[in-house]
Amino acid sequence: MNILVVGGAGYIGSHMVKALGEKGCNITVLDNLSSGHADAVLAAGQLIEGDLANVAMLDQLFAENNYDVVMHFASSIMVGESVTDPAKYYRNNVSNTQNLLDAMIKHGVKQFIFSSTAAIFGEPEYTPIDEKHPKAPINPYGHSKQMVEQMLEDYDRAYGLKSVCLRYFNAAGADPEGELGERHDPETHLIPLVLQAASGKRDAITVFGRDYDTEDGTCIRDYIHVNDLCEAHWLAIKQLQNDGKSGRFNLGNGNGFSVQQVIDVCRDVTGKEITIIEGARRAGDPAVLVADATLARSELGWEPQYNDLKSIVSHAWEWEKNHC
Ligand code: UFG
C-alpha cells in the first residue's frame, strides 16, 4: 500500500510512520519541519520537505506518485496561541488542508485519514463524550478542526472523497522501544512537563487550578497512548479499504485521570521529587474531558493496549531520560 503521511515528522505522525513501516507499507512523508524533526522519520519512510501552502508542489507530488491513502497529521495545535493568532490556525489547519484535499480530488485519490480533536466538542454537556455530543468549539483551534470535518462531509457527498476523522483526547506516551517520543517546542502538554520537572530540566510543574468540581480539585483528562492512536489509524485505513465508508470516531481510554494523579504516577515511575506550584486556572480548560470510544471499539475493532497511566508515563519517561 502506498501511503502519503503529511506531518509524519511530528509526534504522532512519526509513531505512525514507524508502525506503517512495520506493516510493510510504502511511505512518503511530507512535512515542512516547522515543528517536526527529520530524524523522527527513521528508516521507514522517504521524507519530502514541503509545505501544504505550495499548491504546485502538491500537484507535482500527486502527479508523480500513486497514493492509495493520505493521512494528515500536520497542524498547529496550541489552543492558547489559536486565540491570539487565529489567522495562523485558519491558514495552517483549514486553508492548507483544503489545498491537500483539492490535490487529492484532482488526482483521483479518494481515501483520507484526518487527525481531529476533542476540542471540537467545546465545554462538555455530558461525559464521557460520544460522537453524538454537540460540537461547539470554544477556540479557533477547535473551530479549525471542526471546519475540516465539515469540509470532509461535503467533499464526500460531492466528490466521493472517503474520510475517517479521529478525534484524539489527550495523546501521550512514547514508542515502547524508545526510538520516538514527544519533542514539542515549546512543550505545553502535562506529562512531558511533569517529567521535565522530575529530570531537573524544569524547576517545578504549575498546576493550573485546584478549585475544579472534581475529587481532588484538579482537571481530569483521558490520556491515550500514542501507539494505541496509531493502531486506530491502521484500523481506519482497513475500514476505508474494506467497505469504503467514511466515519468519525472519538479516541480515548474512557478513563479519566486528574492532574494530581498524573503527578503522583510520575513521582512513582521516576522515583524523583517533583515540586508543585499552585497556579490559576488556564482559560478554556473544561473540568473533565473523557471519551466514550464505544463506536471505535465496535466499528473499527479498536482495543487500546495501554489503559493504565503507569505504562504511558513509563514510556514517556524512558524517552525523556534518554533523548531530551
Ligand atoms: N496542565 C497543568 N499544568 C501545565 C500543563 C497542563 O496543570 O503546565 C493541566 C491542564 O490545565 C489540563 C491538563 O493538565 O487540565 C492537560 O493539559 P494539556 O495541555 O496536556 O492538554 P489539554 O487537555 O489542554 O489539550 C489536549 C490536546 C489539545 C486539544 C485538547 C482538547 O493537547 O490539542 O486536548 O481539548 F485541543
Same domain, 46 and 181: no
Same domain, 200 and 98: no
Say what the pLDDT of residue 77 is. Answer: 95
Span 268-309, pLDDT tens digits: 999 999 999 999 999 889 999 999 999 999 999 999 999 899
Give residue 77 CA to ligand 1 midpoint distance, Å: 11
CATH code for the domain of 108: 3.40.50.720
Same domain, 241 and 212: no
In three-state secondary structure terms, 257 is: strand
Indicate if ligand 1 lies below 6 Å from the C-beta of 120: no
Same domain, 145 and 125: yes
CATH code for the domain of 287: 3.90.25.10
Does position 43 have pLDDT exceeding 90, yes or no? no
Q: For all residues of the chain together, what is the average pLDDT?
A: 96
Same domain, 57 and 105: yes
Same domain, 65 and 156: yes
Same domain, 17 and 64: yes
DSSP 83-134: HH-HHHHIIIIIIHHHHHHHHHHHTT--EEEEEEEGGGG-S-SSSSB-TTS-
Indicate if ligand 1 lies below 6 Å from the C-beta of 189: yes
Report field, pTM of the whole predicted structure over 0.85: yes
Calpha distance 52→98 (Å, rounded): 9
| Count of domains observed in the chain | 2
Q: Angle at CA 236, nearest 5°, toward 75 and 19?
A: 75
Q: How far does Cα 95 stand from its chain's mean position? A: 19
Cell numbers placing 177? 522501544
Span 4-36, pLDDT tens digits: 999 999 999 999 999 999 999 999 999 999 999
Does position 324 have pLDDT exceeding 80, yes or no? no
Calpha distance 199→13 (Å, rounded): 26
Same domain, 206 and 95: no
Same domain, 200 and 259: yes
Q: What band does 147 get if pLDDT is binned at 50, 70 and 90? A: very high
Q: Which atom of ligand 1 is nearest the CA belonging to 189?
A: 20
**Last-in-domain residue among 213, 235, 251:** 251
Same domain, 268 and 296: yes
- Give the contacts of 109 (CB within 8 A, at least 6 positions apart): 62, 67, 68, 69, 70
Indicate if ligand 1 lies below 6 Å from the C-beta of 208: yes
Same domain, 87 and 217: no
Give residue 110 CA to ligand 1 midpoint distance, Å: 34
Rounded alpha-carbon distances, angstroms, from residue 201 to 46, 47, 195, 321, 324? 33, 31, 9, 10, 9
Pick the residue whose CA is nearest to atom 26 on ligand 1: 170
Q: Which atom of ligand 1 is nearest the CA belonging to 281?
A: 11
Say what the pLDDT of residue 162 is. Answer: 98
Same domain, 181 and 316: yes
Domain enclosing residue 189, as ranges: 174-222+254-323
Calpha distance 210→277 (Å, rounded): 11
Calpha distance 97→52 (Å, rounded): 7
